[in-house]
Amino acid sequence: MSSYVNNLVEKVGKYSKDKAQKFRERMEELIQSGKYEELPAVAKEVDEFIAEYKLNVQDLNRRVRELKGLLVEATKIGYDIREYAKELKEVLSNIKDIREAIKKVGDIEEKIRKSIEKLEPRLLFSLDIKGKVDNRYQAKINVRNEGDVDAFNVKLVVNGELKTEKPVEINVVKKGNEEIIDVFLLPGKGEEIEIKGEYERFDGKKYRSAERVKIELKKKGFHVEKNKSKIKCSFCRGTILPGMDIVICDNCGAVYHLPCARRAGKCVKCGTLFNFE
Ligand SMILES: [Zn+2]
Ligand SMILES: [Zn+2]
């Protein structure tokens, strides 16, 4: 009879020492009080316990696999998962009750999903006019991502006093990074310039942000004088003779031939726009 009990206890012991000890106590009690006919029912319970335990192990393994997949995804979007990876390791290294371990793994997964849901890209824009060629303004749009995650499929539109011909597209602006885009802008309407951006998060969720800027396009930026002495043109490096018309930058005092200043469209020394209209 004792080998019968030992076999069953050994079977359970592979999965749970606690449970094995409890089965042993119950069966020894039954044997002591002579209730042998109740032993097969306990043996059946042992089998059921083991079957359920195996299912739970499968369930736990599946959840751990899913959680690890989620951790990999989270890492790809630049999310710091170290805290959660540590939590998972602790749960797995100390499993007393498998159902409880399954619940804990589920809790970690939910925590990660909730905090990922809160991550957002956030783009800020600024605009710098670099010069004017014919009717078009050369500009640089600076796009900075101050959000928690990368911004994808970015579409920019400039409207107002200056406008884009068609939306400017950028594949990705990484978090913490900035992209500088060269664009040509056309004269539009109004006194202000608005830069609007539409972009997506890693999961395709859409975001928008906009920035209004005021740029003094009407400012002339230079004045014209009659040249008095022999000097050099800042654009062509050629000599300007006394008596010729010269363009002088209002900001830095750089000197140009009149046609050179027209061609440059701006001061090549300091970037001030020359508005000849
Ligand atoms: Zn010149
Ligand atoms: Zn200048």
Neighbours of ion ligand 2 (CB under 5 A): 249, 251-252, 254, 267, 269-270, 272
Task: Tell how far the Cα of 233 is from the centroid of ligand 1, in angstroms.
Answer: 5
Counting ligands in written order, the one closest to the CA of 251 is 2
Task: Tell how far the Cα of 256 is from the centroid of ligand 1, in angstroms.
Answer: 5
Give the tens place of pLDDT for each residue, 60-70: 999 999 999 99
pLDDT band at 72 (very low <50, low <70, confident <90, very high): very high
CA-CA distance, 195 to 212, in Å (whole number)? 6
Q: Is the pLDDT of residue 15 over 70?
A: yes
Return the higher-pLDDT residue of 274 and 277. Answer: 274
Q: What is the pLDDT of residue 218?
A: 67
Task: Tell how far the Cα of 185 is from the centroid of ligand 2, in angstroms.
Answer: 22
Q: What is the pLDDT of residue 18?
A: 87
Counting ligands in written order, the one closest to the CA of 259 is 1
Cα 75 to the center of its chain, rounded Å: 11
Counting ligands in written order, the one closest to the CA of 246 is 1
Phi, psi of 43 (to 5 degrees): -60, -40
Task: Tell how far the Cα of 159 is from the centroid of ligand 2, in angstroms.
Answer: 28
ipTM of the modeled complex? 0.88
Task: Tell how far the Cα of 149 is from the centroid of ligand 1, in angstroms.
Answer: 49
Task: Tell how far the Cα of 103 is from the centroid of ligand 2, in angstroms.
Answer: 68
Level-2 CATH architecture, domain 123-213? Sandwich (2.60)
Counting ligands in written order, the one closest to the CA of 267 is 2
> Residue 266 gets which letter from DSSP?
B
Task: Tell how far the Cα of 242 is from the centroid of ligand 2, in angstroms.
Answer: 21
CA-CA distance, 267 to 87, in Å (whole number)? 60
Domain residue ranges of the chain, discontinuous segments joined by +: 2-118, 123-213, 222-264
Lowest mean pLDDT among 90-99, 200-209, 245-254: 90-99
Counting ligands in written order, the one closest to the CA of 273 is 2
Strand 151-160, strand 168-173: pairing = antiparallel
Counting ligands in written order, the one closest to the CA of 263 is 1
Contact criterion met (CB below 8 Å) for 171 and 152: yes
Query: In sequence order, what are the residues at sequence separation of 6 or more whose Cβ sits closer than 8 angstroms to the Cβ of residue 58?
Result: none
Instruction: Write down the H helix ranges in 162-267.
Output: 258-264
pLDDT band at 233 (very low <50, low <70, confident <90, very high): very high
Task: Retrieve residue 238's tokens.
Answer: 């050629």
User: What is the mean pLDDT of the segment spanning 76-86?
Assistant: 90
